[in-house]
Structures are given as structure tokens and as C-alpha cells.
Amino acid sequence: MKKKLPKVGEFGLIEKLKKFQRSSTRIVRGIGDDAAVLELDRRRYQLFTTDMLVEDVHFLGGVDPAALGHKAMAVNISDIAAMGGRPTFAVVSIGVPSGLSSRYIEAVYRGMRVCADRFGASIVGGDTVSADKLVINVALLGEVEKGRLVLRSGARPGDRIFVTGPLGGSLAFGRHLRFAPRLREARFLVERFRPSAMIDISDGLAGDLGHILRASGLSAWLDEERIPRRRGVTLEAALRDGEDFELLFTLSSLKAKKLLECKSVAKDFNFIDIGEIVAGHPGTRAGGLFLRDRCGIRRAVEMKGYTHF
């Protein structure tokens, strides 16, 4: 599954496309977070996100159709969760190669539907076209109470950095097809602890923490020993493999302490403190992302993860 795009790469291209964005007082956040944030009513924002899966880029032909449908829906729900919201309505567009049976497509839909049902979303429309390879695109709306919205840009120096589960090897273990979006965790966090920043890990810990650091204009260090890894996974893979779909969030040190002392957290959730946000723009020579080993020795690491192209 090799991924290629123009030389600028995924994020370089998105940067160039930003100029086509129009501003409006109804747009609270456009391109640049896990979902767009739009005015809805006095109390709530509308969230809007989309993700596309393409055969031979994101999955191989003949993959279990229910798992594929689950993933197509779950990746979008994960982006709504990362904003602190709840998913509502989805439209689904599919490009279908001529040889593929309607039975296979129905099984994909069954997978999508089960996932949507589980997290409170409904499929309300879509588009169907013929294509050389199977393509599935889900666009998903969500809602979030205004006080509970969490952006990538809100991290503060001194904040602790958390993840919601073990990282790395998601593709090798097949977890990327079966993961459960961390909606329950996200809602608990926004209702009880108001994280300062949050993102879901789709591009790898180093890449997605990089998104928080750039959006917040700050740097960070991670304790190498504390980064939770899936069994048999190297530190490098835990940092850079994509498609973990765990949440990565930041909390003031006071709230972090309370979170870790909270009895219901210990019982129901897995929030792992892995490092700290520090002052300094990540683009400067002294700034960026650092790892600390068990002796406290620091080394800089690239804020780059898995690229989807």
C-alpha cells in the first residue's frame, strides 16, 4: 500500500488549499482542526468533518467488508470526539468498481451502520458512482456545547500531555480496522476536566503532537519510558505509526493531578500522562518536540509521523 501525492505532501498541499477558504462570521474554525466548527445556535456549535478511504491506499481489495465499513464511519466519529462533540448525521459517497457485488457493498454498509448506531449517528444520504477502485467517503456532522469545544490550539506551558491507550503497530495488528473511537473518553473529559487541547492520533504521536504544538505555538517533551506501546512495538513505531485513533490531549497540571486521583477514572478509563508542554515556538532552534530517556537526557525528535500519501 504505497501512498503518493504531489511533492509538497499531504500537509503542504492542504496549506496551499487554505487560500480558497472563505471567511464568514458563522465559521468559528475552518481548515486546520479535526473538524470545522460552525455557529449552530446560542448553546451549540455544529461540527463537520470528512474522511475518505481508497482501495490500495488505505486498505487492500477483498478486506472484510464489515470491518471496512466500521472504519469508514469510526475515523470520522474519532474526529468529532477530538473536538469534544457528539456525532449526529452522515452522508456516504461510494465509488464502486464494476466487478464488486452488491452483497459486498451491503456488508460494508452494515459495518457502517452498526458503528453509527453505537455512537449515536445516522446515515441520511450519499452518492454512488462507478470507479476503478473502491472508494468510501463519509462526511459527518456533530454538535458540541459551546463551553465544551476543544481545539488543537489551546495548549499552555506547564500542561501535562496524555494519551488514551497504547500506540504503534495498528496496521500490523489490524487494529486500524477495528478500533473504537474514544467518544466516551472525550465526553467524560470535556464534561469534567475541559482539556486545553485535543486531537485524535491518526498520523502518529509525533506528527499529531506536532499539530497541537504548531497550532498552540509551543514546544513539548515526552518521557520515553511513559509512552505506552502495544506489545512488541518499538519506541519509534509508537511515535510514528499512524491510525492508532487514541486521543492525545493536554491538561493543566492541577487538573492532571485531579484526573489521576479521580476514582471513576481509575476504574473506567486509561489516561496516561506522557510528558509536558513547554514555552517556545516549535519552529525555533531551541523549540520543538523532545524525548527524555530514563536518565533525563533529552534529544530532539521530528514532529512527523506516518504520511497517508
* Nearest distance, CB of residue 18 and ligand ADP, angstroms: 7
* Sheet containing 197-200: order of strands: 197-200, 247-251, 160-163, 272-278, 219-223, 289-292, 298-301
Q: Which stretch binds ligand ADP (CB under 6 A): 32-40, 59-67, 121-129, 153-161?
A: 32-40
Q: Which residue has the cell 471567511?
A: 23
Among 46, 196, 202, 250, binds ligand ADP (CB under 6 A): 202
**CB closer to ligand ADP, 200 vs 224:** 200
d(CA 129, CA 268) in angstroms, rounded, equals 43
Q: Which does 31 bind (CB under 5 to 8 A by kind): ligand ADP, Mg ion, none?
A: ligand ADP
Q: Are 271 and 182 in contact (CB under 8 A)?
A: no
* Nearest distance, CB of residue 141 and ligand ADP, angstroms: 14
**CB closer to Mg ion, 34 vs 243:** 34
Greatest CA separation found in the chain? 59
**CB closer to ligand ADP, 79 vs 276:** 79
* Nearest distance, CB of residue 200 and ligand ADP, angstroms: 6
Which residues sit at the interface with Mg ion, rule CB under 5 A?
34, 79, 200
What backbone torsions phi and psi does residue 239 show, to the nearest 5 degrees?
Answer: -80, -35
Nearest to 85 by CA among 179, 148, 164, 27: 148
3-class DSSP state of 192: helix
* Nearest distance, CB of residue 125 and ligand ADP, angstroms: 20
**Region 49-108 residues binding ligand ADP, contact defined as CB under 6 A:** 51, 79
For the range 261-265, what are the long-range contacts, defined as Cβ-Cβ under 8 Å and sequence gap of 24 or more?
262/192
Burial of 253 (0-12, 13-18, 19+ CB in 10 A): middle
| Under rule CB under 6 A, residue 14 binds ligand ADP | yes
Q: Which stretch binds ligand ADP (CB under 6 A): 27-35, 127-135, 179-187, 284-292?
A: 27-35
* Nearest distance, CB of residue 231 and ligand ADP, angstroms: 26
| Under rule CB under 6 A, residue 5 binds ligand ADP | no
d(CA 182, CA 111) in angstroms, rounded, equals 18
Cell numbers that stand for 258 in this block? 485531579
**CB closer to ligand ADP, 33 vs 241:** 33
Which parts of this chain interact with ligand ADP (CB under 6 A)? Answer: 14, 17, 31-34, 51, 79, 202
